[in-house]
Amino acid sequence: MTPLEERIGYQFRDSMLLAEALTHPSLGHEAQRSHFDYQRLEFLGDAVLQLVITEYLFRNFGFEAEGQLTKLRSRLVSREALKTHAAALDLGRYISMGRGEEASGGRERTSTLADTFEALIGALYLDGGLEVAKNFILTETRADLEELAEKPVDINPKGDLQELLQSISPHSPLYELVSQTGPEHEKTFVCQVVWEGVVLGQGTGRSKKQAETAAALDALQLKRWEKSGKNSA
């Protein structure tokens, strides 16, 4: 097994698939040979990655709406996220590339590392099938998936709510503290978000910030501005 195969715990039956996944287009251009590089495998790997992550989110975030799931998926398959996974595998050192590309820092380039990571997924899919590719994806993204479960689903619900409402009216939503109860070291806060005299949502949290975030999420789900006749549509 190659060091990379040992790292991912999978030995390719067709070693040429792995070689193709690790070949940068610049090598073929410099050698003026027929194309043998990761681009086609990257195309396939991107689709497999999208499928696996989409299925995972569908099964594990069953109460989230389509828009929220789309945001989460975008976060998980972003170029920066894929670069991080590629760097964890030290993929850069295994890539065959032209001398010019290497001299210009190609082994650390975000696009190259992200593309190679997707190409590796495509190669795994062709060589071992969907389950092999799925196991690889879920293993390499485990930390990100666990982080999603610990953090609020919406990355910035207050920002999203403000952006949405300001597309309808120049007025910003206001957050009001409704109550705070409990001992000093373990208080519970309740906040509501108000916009143009309408209470859009209410939320509870261990801090005012958490309660405001929960209120914004509540408002995004209830969409009471539509009933107030202020919908931009």
Active site residue 118: yes
When comparing pLDDT for 60 and 230, which is higher?
60
Say whether pLDDT at 229 is over 70: no
Is the per-residue pLDDT at 185 higher than 60? yes
Residue 106 lies in a domain: yes
Per DSSP (E only), the strands in the chain are: 174-181, 188-195, 198-205
Is the predicted pLDDT of residue 208 greater than 90, yes or no? no
Same structural domain, 136 and 162: no
Catalytic residue among 20, 42, 46, 212: 46
Same domain, 108 and 69: yes
Residues 117 and 164 both lie in one domain: no
What are the distances in angstroms from CA 174 to CA 49, 212, 232?
Answer: 40, 10, 20
**63 and 115 co-located in one domain:** yes
- Do residues 34 and 93 both lie within one domain? yes
CA distances from 24 to 38, 44, 77 (A): 6, 16, 21
C-alpha closest to that of 219 among 175, 189, 187, 178:
175
Structural domain contains residue 232 = no
Per-residue DSSP letter, 182: S
What is the residue range of 175's domain?
A: 157-227
Q: Is residue 19 located within the same domain as residue 91?
A: yes
How many angstroms separate the Cα of 118 from the Cα of each of 50, 123, 162, 220? 10, 9, 35, 34
* Marked catalytic residue, from 118, 127, 154, 212: 118
How many domains does the chain fold into?
A: 2
Catalytic (active site) residue 115: no
pTM: 0.65
**Sheet with 188-195, edge to edge strand ranges:** 174-181, 188-195, 198-205
Answer yes or no: do 68 and 125 share one domain.
yes
Looking at the structure, tell me whether residues 69 and 118 fall in a common domain.
yes
Q: Is 35 helix (H, G, I), strand (E, B) or coil?
A: coil
Q: The domain that contains 19 carries what CATH number?
A: 1.10.1520.10
pLDDT digits (tens, 9 = 90+) for 131-167: 999 999 999 999 888 888 776 555 678 888 888 898 8
**Separation of alpha carbons 67 and 53, rounded Å:** 15
